[in-house]
A = this chain, B = another copy of it.
Amino acid sequence: MSEERTEITSLGEFGLIDHLTRNNETTQAGTIVSVGDDAAVIDSFGKQIVITTDMLIEGVHFDLMYTPLKHLGYKAVVVNLSDIYAMMATPTQITISLGLSNRLSVEALEEFYEGVYAACEHYNIDLIGGDTCSSNKGFIISVTAIGEVTPDKFVTRNGAKTNDLICVSGDLGGAYAGLQLLEREKRIFLENPAVQPDLQNKAYITGRFLKPEARIDIVNWLQQNNIQPTSMIDISDGLSSEILHICKQSETGCVLYEDKIPIHAETKEMALEFNIAPVTCALSGGEDYELLFTVKQEDYEKLIKNTKITVIGYMTEKSEGAVLVTNQGNKHPIQAQGWDAF
């Protein structure tokens, strides 16, 4: 090992990936999109295959104390499908590799697989392989999803142009609010096991965290209505982080309006209870798995017919930077505050 030592934290997750793949050259004629998007695209005799992979680690991405295993299996699949949809592609198959500690029983794994199969059925995909090994500590899940797309109809992060409209599906910040609630209830329970958490009237936000869905409906609707987004990404790390990915890769700036960002009433209520501005949950929280995308201005009339899609801003010249216009009309630079796990 060399004698220098640079901490991973000094680069951050995305800086680290950029650094380690800076000299990566692809030589296969079939490699169309490589490292740096939601998914890679490979050509296969005129058809295009889309592939993505995600790892979930116990204690980092999930806490088995409040995560039902069936939900976890479902979510492990969905977060990967979300990356395929974010390319405007259709997922077709998945593989799953598991690192298992002996703390997990066969019955627990059956519950996990029930969730996996439920997601496969709901999204009409096949589980086609994987690997199972033992883990000294904690449950490790690595899923790879494969999809297909009509040649050259995939949507990357680098096609947004100045004046394109910025859109999001659904509402944002719910998963983060749900996680804060689950973490609080866990602390209370650990301090006093007699107090049973009451999450009944918080079903929306806890559901957003524990059992997210991928936006197949949005992708289908865009395709049916002949709206080809100019760029697209799924929101796994928070709106700030994702719009900055699009700005960087499209070489643009952007303006977002705080008052346009869709936030569910239950999310707002929970955020205020925690003394967090609701917009912070949307900007810096993650795991909503909504789609963030840009469209040409001419698609506006068609777009607003879908009530699940909200226009939250527009793209600008790169020199104008990435800006949030607050409810008070102030302009703030947008900074990445995604869940940087390091």
Q: How far is it, in angstroms, between the C-alpha of A226 and the C-alpha of B37 when the chains are bound? A: 41
Chain B residue, CB-CB nearest to A96 = B53
Q: Which of B2, B131, B136, B144 contacts A95 (CB 8 A)?
A: B144
A334 within 8 A of B: no
Q: A106-114, A292-300, A315-323: which one contacts chain B?
A: A106-114
Question: Which residues of chain B are near A59, meaning CB under 8 Å?
Answer: 136
Q: How far is it, in angstroms, between the C-alpha of A31 and the C-alpha of B129 when the chains are bound? A: 11
A93 within 8 A of B: yes
B6 touches A107 (CB 8 A): yes
Question: What is the interface of chain A mostly: helix, strand, loop, or mixed?
Answer: mixed
A191 within 8 A of B: no
A 105-129 contacts with B by CB, 8 A: 105-111, 113, 117, 124-129
Q: Which of B5, B110, B146 contacts A42 (CB 8 A)?
A: B146
Chain B residue, CB-CB nearest to A31 = B126
Interface centre among A19, A97, A129, A341 (most CB of B within 10 A): A129
Question: Which residues of chain B are near A40, meaning CB under 8 Å?
Answer: 93, 95, 128-129
Q: How far is it, in angstroms, between the C-alpha of A24 and the C-alpha of B117 when the chains are bound? A: 8
Question: Which residues of chain B are near A33, meaning CB under 8 Å?
Answer: 128
Chain B residue, CB-CB nearest to A79 = B131
Given A106-B6, A117-B23, A132-B17, do A55 and B99 touch, yes or no (CB 8 Å)?
yes
This chain: copies in complex = 2
B136 touches A42 (CB 8 A): no
Residues of A in contact (CB 8 Å), total 85
Q: How far is it, in angstroms, between the C-alpha of A135 and the C-alpha of B106 when the chains are bound? A: 24
Q: Which of B106, B108, B126, B131 contacts A53 (CB 8 A)?
A: B131
Q: How far is it, in angstroms, between the C-alpha of A56 and the C-alpha of B52 when the chains are bound? A: 19
Q: How far is the CB of A143 from chain B (nearest CB, A)?
A: 9
Chain B residue, CB-CB nearest to A4 = B107
A187 within 8 A of B: no
B99 touches A1 (CB 8 A): no
- Extra contacts, 6 of them, besides A34-B126, A42-B92 (Cβ < 8 A), are A4-B107, A6-B105, A20-B109, A35-B127, A44-B148, A134-B341
Residue pairs across A and B with Cβ atoms less than 8 A apart, 22 shown, are: A8-B105, A16-B132, A26-B128, A27-B124, A28-B124, A30-B148, A31-B128, A34-B129, A35-B130, A37-B129, A42-B128, A44-B148, A51-B93, A51-B95, A51-B146, A52-B129, A54-B97, A55-B131, A55-B133, A57-B99, A60-B135, A60-B136
